[in-house]
Amino acid sequence: MRSLQSEIEQRGQRIFELVDKHPEPLFSKAGFYQRLMMLSMRDEQLKQQLFRFVDVLPSLSTSGEIVQHLQEYFAEARDSQKVSEFLGAGVRLARAVPWISGPILRWNVSEMARQFIAGRNSDDVMRTLRKRRAQKIGFTVDLLGEAVVNETETDEYAARYLDLLEGLSRETKDWTDPLGKNSALFPVVNLSVKISALYSQINPADPADAIAHLAPKLRPLLRRARNVGAFINFDMESYAHKNITLELFKTVFTEEEFKNWPHAGIVTQAYLRDSEADLRDLIEWGRARGTRFAVRLVKGAYWDYETAKSRQNGWDCPVYLQKPESDTNFETLTRLLLENESVVTSAFGSHNVRSIAHAQAFADELGVDRSRFEFQLLYGMAGPIKRALVDMGYRVREYCPVGELLPGMSYLVRRLLENTSNEGFLRAKFSDNVPAAELLRNPREILHRSRNGVLPPLNSTINMTKNTPKTQPGAPYDNAPLTNFALPENQEKMRAALREQRKQFGRKVPLTINGEKIWTDKMFSSVNPSQPDQIVGYAAEADIPEAERAVAAARAAFEKWRRTSFEQRCELLERVAEILERRRFELSALEVFEVGKPWSQADGDIAEAIDFCTFYARRMRLLGRPRLTQNVPGEESYQHYWPRGVALVIAPWNFPMAILCGMVSAALVTGNTVIMKPSEQSVIIGAMLMEIYEEAGVPPGVLNFLNGKGSVIGAHMVDHKDVDLIAFTGSREVGLWIWESAGKTREGQRELKRVICEMGGKNAMIVDSDADLDEAIVDSIYSAFGFQGQKCSALSRLIVLEENHDRVMERLLGAAASVRVGNPEEAGVVVGPVIDEAAYRRILDYIEVGKSEATLAYQAKDVPPHGYFIPPTIFTGVKSNMRIAREEIFGPVLSVIKVRDLDEAIEVANGTDYALTGGFFSRSPANIERIKAQLEAGNVYINRPCTGAIVGRHPFGGFKMSGSGTKAGGEDYLLNFLIPRVVTENVTRHGLAPEKTPEYREEFLWPKK
């Protein structure tokens, strides 16, 4: 008996022989598409530009716009000669006669898209399907469309699915199975469904909500499919949706109505590390259900996205990082499927001849008849392989996307990437002409060689390890990963933490002065804004005498603390970071109750607090050692830093842990002593930070915790002669008062007070005429309404070019209506309550102002009756001089301003007192450059939300009336807490000078330990 490997080789060779009879035209050298492929494969940078251009092209309405983009994308291309050759008529012609070349280009790209899209609608696609039928190739049809951003769009999608199903079943009612054997397993009509098209608010943290919305949308389709004898397949999308898709599949097909229906299938992605466990679980479920189901095995289409996303978030990467690992796993799963053929019907979705030959050989080894499984391949790809498989007597089905060109662009770009990927089989075979023997090698063997160091590890730049020594100065900085709430274990931990925090309601927290716990007569109560009758906790309230004691304690502790080595201070921050990490879920849950933060935002706040600690510790290690200013013989001049003295930290409630912890940690690590005054509304979280610092070993007096009214103790301490530094984040009104008051020198004052002042914003995002609206809408909604718009970075003015205005509004209003408003204790809620009654009243007043000034375009109706819930609200027809366009509202209220062109957009965006964040959605490289240069904002975000700054990556802070120009989480932030000092020593003795002076020296510490 021959080995499996030689069986695979023999089958593979046979496929290649058949394939070589009809070479792949997509990889030939002629035609627009072919030239695009060749250029892309030659130059990675050019490939990026080409694909970006393809992506934007369909949204450009005039030839002038097309030509303008063409020049912007390719003016600086390294290979500009080749680019203009490739662009056929060329940029020269485009400049001269744009009305000709624009349409030619558009036509070329449409033709290219047509190679991958089987038809615009069900009539159109039938022509393709009939041709395939004649070739004995079956079909599964997939609907292309824009990303759905609201529930109206999902309803339309569901209706389109039904329509398509009806059309297909009507047109194919006489069709029979091409193999005429085991045909009951393979209905002719096969529809591939994407769940993301059926519910716009899928939140990976809340599978139950997603299933509750998706199941009712699916049932009518499934019913109809069963009645007409069709097959429904659930496609698999990004990892974030994977568990929900699996859960939905099992839930719906366990229901009485569908339990006995065998024509349901789902996709398994072999590039996922957990795919084997998932598949085993599915098979077990299928056995228990007692009815066959189907699995389409693929490698997975989102590899680049998953790796980038997990790196951005600091998550373990869910996909394998080496291509042979995915190939090997594909084979492992092939075996698992075929070994369980009694319950699951397999479809192998691959163009890779090795993967295909392996499935064939293994099926034979097990004695599974070739009519009992199928190969599925994509429309427009690997035509010769399909023909070869049909010739060999296998069952072949083609995946046929149907839809318009414009919405189909993301699909087209995915296919272009796949075809030009360095790792891909199709490129290796049809473009790079890799020999058959190489292509048929066992992927396990390739992996083995790579582990032995013969092959360089693929994608070795992706470093997922978190164990790099972090304490070295200059070591690479890794942010604390966000909690991935797509993972069920994290959902469960959060729910448990919420239950636990509920039990702690009503706890009491004291003041902490000089390490002593102090209770006062007055207790302040902090309530749950979702249910104000619930008291999260009580905090002792300080008055002037306690404020005096705190300042005295901090002053007294300063001398010793300033002489504590910076290394010890850095270690203190790192211990705080560890405790924050250990108590992460508990603290996040507390934030949900005390300030109404949705889960992921609460988690983000704790992650940011951890980042501040580790980042500032890292920075202090770089600043702490005196550094040589210039290297001259005979003289040593070292610059170093002293702390300023006593720091008063006044923090807001909206990032109750992160901002408080950030300012406190910066002050402490630089050697200042601190009085921290959290906001009254988030005092319990503030008390937790005190507790954590104490556990980490902060000495008495170095950090003091004072809760009380800003107008009483805050004002007293700002004016205090013994306070040297004020770090404030909060409202403009208070910030300006602090700025002014701190400018006065009091009797006995030693230092000029330093004020670090971060205030509000009136942030604008501009939507350009060529913007990708799928992104612009989702990101605008998130930026405006996430955490109820209570971020200083939140979007409050959406500036839309008139060309785009109506389309943007249509989608925006629908998206706003689909956002989940409710108690943030529920996992998937996006908009919770505002912080307190005062805020509630103030925002409602602003809404009234808006109604009188502009047009109320949208206001949510369905908000919880109790608690401080403000319905998300959108005004249109807003002019830049109106109050709602100028004043900070700090709530879920968005003003839309229509402008003529980008000039006016920039003028409006910059025409406020503030300059905190700003955003721009565009695919025009020139316009993007212009915004980078001209938008007045401390943080400018292009093609992404304008909130969610990450420590170290997006140093955060604004100017004008938004702040004093400091950047929290930036490299130079700590300098605000320090006084620079230079010590110069003449080291020559009678002309004798040391040859070398070290760049750094030990800290000037006296007495030395």
Ligand X SMILES: Cc1cc2nc3c(=O)[nH]c(=O)nc-3n(C[C@H](O)[C@H](O)[C@H](O)COP(=O)(O)OP(=O)(O)OC[C@H]3O[C@@H](n4cnc5c(N)ncnc54)[C@H](O)[C@@H]3O)c2cc1C
Local structure of residue 713 (DSSP, 8 states): I
**Site of tokens 């300063």:** 558
Least Å distance between CB 431 and ligand X? 12
Provide the token pair at 610: 């951890």
- Provide DSSP, 753-815: PEEEEE----EEEEE-TT--HHHHHHHHHHHHHGGGG-STT-EEEEEEEHHHHHHHHHHHHHH
> Which CB sits closer to ligand X, 401 or 626?
401
Residues 6+ apart with CB under 8 A from 227: none
E strands in 585-743: 627-628, 635-643, 646-650, 673-677, 703-705, 725-729
Cα 82 to Cα 252: distance, rounded to the nearest angstrom: 54
Which of residues 301, 338, 781, 839 is near ligand X by CB under 6 A? 301
Q: Which of 9, 146, 151, 235 binds ligand X (CB under 6 A)?
A: 235
Asked if residue 976 binds ligand X (CB under 6 A), the reply is no
Nearer to ligand X, 420 or 673 (CB): 420
Q: Which residue lies nearer to ligand X by CB, 15 or 756?
A: 15
Q: Does the annotation count 758 as an active-site position?
A: yes
CB burial string 176-215: b at 16+ within 10 A, e below: ebbbeeeeebbbbbbbbbbbbbbbbbbbbbbbebbbebbb
- Minimum CB–partner distance for residue 276 and ligand X (Å): 15
Min separation Cβ 64 and ligand X, Å: 36
Q: Which of 217, 242, 292, 323 binds ligand X (CB under 6 A)?
A: 323
Residue 946 per-residue DSSP state: S
Ranges within 361-420 binding ligand X (CB under 6 A): 376-378, 399, 418
User: Which residue among 792, 888, 936, 946 is the active-site one?
Assistant: 792
By CB under 6 A, tell whether 303 contacts ligand X: yes
Distance CA 611, CA 790 (A): 21
Please say which residue, 376 or 484, places its beta carbon nearer to ligand X. 376
> Tokens 């696609």 correspond to what residue?
125
- Do 297 and 324 meet the contact criterion of CB atoms below 8 Å apart? no
Minimum separation from the CB atom of position 271 to ligand X (A): 4
Q: Which of 10, 28, 459, 639 binds ligand X (CB under 6 A)?
A: 459
- Could you tell me how many helices (H) and strands (E) the chain has, helices first? 35, 30
Among 47, 242, 299, 493, contact with ligand X (rule: CB under 6 A)? 299
Bridge partners of residue 665, in order along the sequence: none
| Three-state SS at 315 | coil
Question: Quick check: 320 binds ligand X (CB under 6 A)?
Answer: yes
Starting at the edge strand found earlier in the chain, the sheet holding 511-513 runs 516-518, 511-513, 703-705, 673-677, 646-650, 725-729, 754-758
The interface region with ligand X, picked from 50-58, 77-85, 287-295, 423-431 by CB under 6 A, is 423-431
Stretch of 37-45, 291-299, 493-501, 993-1001 contacting ligand X, by CB under 6 A: 291-299
CB of 143 to ligand X, least distance (A): 13
Local structure of 915: helix, strand or coil = strand
Q: How far apart are CA 757 and CA 245, in angstroms?
A: 47
Single residue of 265, 424, 643, 938 touching ligand X by CB under 6 A? 424
Query: Residue 102 Cβ, how far from ligand X at the closest point, in Å?
Result: 32
Q: Applying CB under 6 A, does 458 fall inside the site for ligand X?
A: yes
Per the DSSP assignment, residues forming a β-bridge with 939 are 917
Q: Which stretch binds ligand X (CB under 6 A): 313-321, 602-610, 633-641, 781-789?
A: 313-321
Residue 678 has a CB neighbour count (10 Å cut-off) of: 29
Contact region for ligand X (CB under 6 A) — 257-265, 301-309, 731-739, 936-944? Answer: 301-309
Q: Least separation, in Å, of the C-beta of 356 and ligand X?
A: 8
Stretch of 114-122, 148-156, 344-352, 716-724 contacting ligand X, by CB under 6 A: 344-352
Q: Does 236 bind ligand X (CB under 6 A)?
A: yes
Query: Between 218 and 606, whose beta carbon lies closer to ligand X?
Result: 218
Nearer to ligand X, 247 or 423 (CB): 423
Give strand pairing partners of 647.
674, 725
Q: Is 321 in the site for ligand X (CB under 6 A)?
A: yes
- Give CA separation, 958 vs 401, 595, 915, 939, in Å: 47, 24, 5, 7
- Please pick, among 72, 151, 758, 825, the residue that the annotation labels catalytic: 758
Candidates 7-15, 80-88, 319-327, 837-845: pick the segment binding ligand X (CB under 6 A).
319-327
Scanning residues 257 to 276, which ones bind ligand X (CB under 6 A)? Answer: 267, 269, 271
Applying CB under 6 A, which of residues 12, 318, 349, 671 lies at the interface with ligand X? 349
User: 207-228 and 242-252 are packed helices; what angle lies between their axes, rounded to 10 degrees?
Assistant: 50
355 contacts ligand X (rule: CB under 6 A): yes
Task: Please report, as ranges, the residues that interact with ligand X according to CB under 6 A.
Answer: 235-236, 267, 269, 271, 296, 298-303, 319-323, 325-326, 349-352, 355, 376-378, 399, 418, 423-425, 458-459
Active-site annotation, residues: 758, 792
